[in-house]
Structure 1
């Protein structure tokens, strides 16, 4: 029975009294049945329930679908929200992917703990086959998880019917007199998923009757493997230095583990994992270029940066970071990283300088910047200071500079100006630049 299967899934995710669930309601049979089942379970498990519909505007029937969803929720006395989105028809990712992206972006804004989605076992098998045909790796082949915990302010994802067959869901809808809408695009074979659903999987099922369940079970095996690879990446991350990886330790690992670690880091920082070809070229250069040479390798949305024996990933972005006024805090954001401020004795910038009346601003290089790093030493231009410190050109525009009263007191990766340096035994403040994305 569907309620029992859904209840087991919800309990496994820790959903209980006080949890706030939102059913993503398209109006199709899967989401209508899910809403009905959740409505039955809400008093038993103690969670609150609402529903949300995303109006894509891609079908001439879109208004009717939204109205049908609203009527159903009114009948069940379930709070209902509808969101209109604009889907670019010429999106490079394709219309299906663009609609999915806009839909999830809208649903992420719902005030709830969990989004409940109507995916089922047949969807799982279809997703696995689709991703394998696209050349996905282990993580992609893991297909959909029954539970994805909340992260970064985004509601978690629940798929309470993921172990249920489509036929059982449709039978439940008919036996309970439920009505639903039919999306005419589901029959269009030009869409690759529809072609798999209507043409490929039925043929496979003729020769392999248990194919749907077997494929879904295989997705579970891939998910276990993916989880183990993530655990291995965590271990390698710690062993290679954590926040900024030590190049020498990283290169002691086999290429497959380095690639696994970089993919894991990319996902952890909220980006798509780089593709195999880009990663392969990055690894080739990483091993071929001398350790003393700074390196920046493009990985799509990210860049892999190697400098002074350390490696980190950072977002590919244009322009300089925005100036930040320091007001005594322990950290200021800088680009994809941060500058931390640590109290010290006899080190860093003299505390009296930063506690004075002059404004203290974290900013980038300004024209005419000159600094001397020791008393009695000549002032050097910014360009010369960077050359002497071995800082590559691609990093210079984004180097953090701490300006006190319009004078450069500290440059990340270079050091403290002699005129602002803390005396032996005096109270000081040590700025520490963390260039990677780990602080986000």
Structure 2
């Protein structure tokens, strides 16, 4: 079989990378996610053979989860594999959160660590294949996933870590079955040894993780018990499941395009900051509402809304009283409503201000408070060097209630509360209003960016 054939591991990888050179010109390097297991070892060998001819940089990363007694040995084995293949490798040590789903917690820790370790012009290369795709579809069926979940893994996707880093994830082998990789790997290893007979045989052995055969883990149960049972009746079961995932992915993409069109018709850019108009959402049926809102959340980088929340969107968020302040909160995000608009907020954007203010001994010099640098010129525009107000004691403090000030251009003072209402500042932003005091007078009001 020709190594240029798309059904061959090397040929498929070559064609995939050639396509990425055209549609992802900003990527200058690829990083193999190397667990040390059979599949990632195969990808390492194929990448070592193909990537240099593309002009891309190549390296590998191994994530040390520390969850198994042999984790150190696995990291050492991954380093030995990389050295044998002539690919630089680095080990990332992570701490996995103690959660109900150890698999999910380890996955988040792994990708967050990889996101932090990758350069902005690098993409993560992963060895997932057709059988992995079939397992993913079955897993998500058992978890009640919707259309986008059942679409499975995508050849091109991204991961956004909690600290805002985003990495490109490339999966070139989703159309290849595991058996194809297993047939090619021994030949690749033999070729490597023929070029360097001094290579120790042990350096090229794959890591054997016992969790991959432990039926207590969902994916292992599917791989070793359910899928073989299905294949005994339907030999092409894995391929058929993967093909279904591909069809669902195409339908999900079409639904995304329709959702984008609906958002655009309402004057909303799906990936830009800003609220959604409540009348537009309320006019949609339940299916269209879910499609549009889910698309908006994804494009804004928010975590998906849990399935159990969808019935609450219309009942609690859209249909609430005009004077209500409904909120749906999940996974570090919240949806809130104000003046016929639905806002998306990250918890980090609405953290409370320090209860105590800070004195500002010399307003002509910047002061650091509440996580930012404050400069008088950005707050009080009419302040001259000889302004008598500079002789008073200055301070920054959060709004407590009852304060008054005279807005620029106004002849009279108003309460800060009423001014916020007149400016259309949502309630959650009013909680982060900062006052600039000179003695007993409020000289300026600073409000965080309205989402």
State the TM-score bracket (shorter-chain normalisation). 0.7 to 0.9
What is the CA–CA distance in structure 2 between the aligned matches of 1:18 and 1:304, rounded to whole Å?
34
Inter-CA distance 410–84: structure 2 relative to 1 (3 Å threshold)? closer
Which residue matches 2:382?
Answer: 352
Root-mean-square deviation (CA, aligned residues, Å) is: 3.5
Residues 1:305 and 2:323 are matched in the alignment: no
Q: Distance in 2 between matches of 1:263 and 1:363?
A: 38
Query: What's the secondary structure of 2:42's corresponding residue?
Result: helix
CA contact (8 A) 1:116 1:157 kept: yes
User: In 1, are the aligned partners of 2:116 and 2:165 still within 8 Å (CA)?
Assistant: no
**Structure 1 residue corresponding to 2:436, chosen from 400, 403, 407:** 403
Tell me whether 1:126 sits opposite 2:156 in the alignment.
no
Which is bigger in relative contact order (C-alpha 8 A, separation at least 6)? 1
Residue-by-residue CA offset, 1:141-186 (whole Å, 9 max, x unaligned): 1111112258764331111222211111112122333521211111
Shift in alpha-carbon separation, 1:361–1:252, aligned structure 2, 3 A? farther
Q: Which stretch shows the higher mean deviation, 28-37 or 59-68? A: 59-68
Is 1:98 matched with 2:130?
A: no
Secondary structure of 2:117's aligned partner: coil
Matched residue, 1:273? 304
Question: Which residue among 334, 343, 352 is the counterpart of 1:320?
Answer: 352
What's the CA shift string for 1:262-281, capped at 9, x where partnerless?
A: 22222233221112332211
2:450 equivalent in structure 1: 435
Partner of 2:289: 258
Task: Tell me, in whole angstroms, the C-alpha distance in 2 between the residues paired with 1:180 and 1:351.
Answer: 66
Q: Is the 8 A contact 1:7 1:160 kept in 2?
A: no
Give, in whole Å, the separation in 2 of the partners of 1:356 and 1:225: 67
Judging changes above 3 Å, is the alpha-carbon distance between structure 1 residues 361 and 76 closer, same or farther for their aligned structure 2 residues? farther
Instruction: Identify if the C-alpha distance between structure 1 residues 218 and 410 changes in structure 2 by more than 3 Å, giving closer, same or farther.
Output: same
Aligned 1:178-193 pairs, distance under 5 A: 178-193=204-219
Secondary structure at the counterpart of residue 263 of structure 2:
helix
Q: Distance in 1 between matches of 2:340 and 2:34?
A: 51
SS in 1 for 2:262: helix
3-state DSSP of counterpart to 2:182: helix
Between the aligned partners of 1:363 and 1:248, the Cα distance in structure 2 is: 38
* SS of equivalent residue, structure 1 residue 114: strand
Aligned mates of 1:350, 1:98 — CA distance in 2: 48
Which of 162, 170, 173 is the aligned partner of 1:158?
170
State the partner residue of 1:24: 33
The alpha carbon displacement at 1:351 in A equals 4.6
TM-score, reference length from structure 1: 0.78
Q: Out of 99, 124, 136, which is 1:115 matched to?
A: 124
Q: Distance in 1 between matches of 2:267 and 2:166?
A: 29
User: What stretches of structure 1 of length at least 5 have no aligned partner?
Assistant: 328-333, 336-342, 344-348, 413-432
Q: Compute the displacement of 1:312 (Å).
A: 1.1
Aligned pairs, number? 393
Check the 8 A contact 1:51/1:73 in 2, yes or no: yes
* Aligned residue in 2 for 1:11: 18
Instruction: Provide the rounded CA distance (Å) in 1 between the counterparts of 2:25 and 2:187.
Output: 28
> Secondary structure of 1:181's match?
coil
Q: 1:45-84 counterparts in 2 under 5 A? A: 45-84=54-93
**Cα shift at 1:258:** 2.2
- In structure 2, list runs of 5 or more residues that go unmatched: 1-7, 190-203, 269-273, 365-369, 372-377
How far does the alpha carbon of each residue in 1:6-25 deviate from its partner, in whole angstroms, 9 at most, with x for none? 11222232368972111111
Structure 1 residue 356, shift from structure 2 partner: 9.0
TM-score, normalised on structure 2? 0.77
Residue 319 of structure 2, aligned match among 288, 291, 302: 288
Change (3 A) 1:267 1:362: farther
Change beyond 3 A, Cα 1:307–1:205: same
Name the structure 2 match of 1:207.
233
